[in-house]
């Protein structure tokens, strides 16, 4: 499996996907820098009891659509490497099972988004220090802001990898992902069981961990369904 993952990483050398991984979290932090720069007095008064908590909440809200759109683009770019070069037949002719190939693509997307989520944590931490919110930053809160939505979005990572690999025409997976991003922005009033609400970490229990666990669990289910489908069908 490590060899498959390493091979996929080599294929992505000098690809724009690396810029996307950086620009997503950097863009969130940059927008928050502008937000606090323009409304510094208002926001610091609004969050005067917990400046770091305020920054984390503000950044977390922006990070959700960035994550949803980012995973859509990343999944499409990963699949397009084979689609654009018509390399699926050559890849599947290798002495490697289809299950391992599909799993490799899923792991690659998950790894890249994990890197992006970690960069988000770092950029928001730097922003808070620049804004002089104090050196006693809540590392656990920053980690939850970065990684809980990532775990909650595993369902969509699995869906997008499945669709992007199965369809040579990437317009359909991209459309599904963009619509999912839009739905996630208006999902506050959705029932807790709808996946589009999970990346926002909003639920009736008031504990974001439930949303993260739900996304991770259902993501594993979707991964298995996608893997079974991939092993049974021909990919052109």
Q: What angle do CA 138, 124, 34 make, to 5 degrees?
A: 130
Long-range contact list for 18-21, CB < 8 A, 24+ apart? Answer: 20/70, 20/73, 20/74, 20/77, 21/70, 21/74, 21/112, 21/113, 21/115, 21/116, 21/119
Quickly count: other Cβ atoms within 10 Å of residue 130's Cβ: 11
What is the C-alpha end-to-end distance of the chain, expressed in Å?
A: 23
Show me where the domains of the chain are located. 2-232
Q: How far is CA 55 from the centre of its chain?
A: 20
Two structure tokens written together for 186: 């208006």
Cα–Cα distances in angstroms (integers) from residue 32 to residues 18, 25, 122, 187, in the given order: 22, 11, 14, 22
Chain mean position to CA 178: 13
* Per-residue model confidence as pLDDT tens for the chain (236 residues): 677 767 666 777 777 888 999 999 999 999 999 999 899 889 989 988 899 999 999 999 999 999 999 999 999 999 888 777 776 777 777 777 888 889 999 999 999 999 999 999 999 999 999 999 988 899 999 999 999 999 999 999 999 999 999 888 889 999 999 999 999 988 888 888 999 999 999 888 889 999 999 999 999 999 999 999 988 877 65
């Amino acid at each position: 499996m490590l060899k498959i993952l390493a091979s996929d990483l080599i294929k992505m050398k000098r690809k724009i996907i690396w810029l996307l991984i950086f620009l997503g979290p950097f863009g969130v932090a940059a927008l928050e820098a502008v937000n606090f720069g323009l409304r510094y007095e208002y926001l610091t008064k609004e969050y005067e009891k917990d400046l770091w908590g305020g920054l984390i909440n503000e950044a977390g809200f922006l990070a959700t659509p960035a994550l949803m759109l980012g995973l859509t683009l990343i999944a499409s770019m990963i699949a397009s490497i084979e689609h654009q070069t018509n390399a699926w037949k050559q890849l599947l002719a290798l002495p490697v099972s289809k299950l391992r190939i599909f799993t490799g693509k899923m792991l690659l997307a998950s790894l890249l988004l994990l890197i992006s989520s970690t960069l988000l944590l770092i950029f928001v931490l730097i922003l808070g220090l620049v804004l002089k919110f104090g050196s006693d930053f809540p590392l656990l809160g920053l980690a939850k802001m970065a990684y809980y939505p990532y775990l909650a979005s595993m369902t969509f990572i699995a869906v997008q990898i499945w669709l992007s690999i199965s369809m040579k025409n990437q317009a359909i997976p991209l459309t599904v992902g963009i619509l999912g991003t839009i739905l996630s922005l208006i999902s506050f009033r959705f029932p807790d069981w709808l996946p589009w609400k999970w990346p926002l970490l909003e639920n009736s229990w008031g504990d974001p961990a439930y949303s993260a666990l739900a996304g991770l669990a259902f993501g594993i289910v979707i991964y298995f369904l996608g893997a079974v489908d991939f092993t049974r069908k021909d990919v052109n």
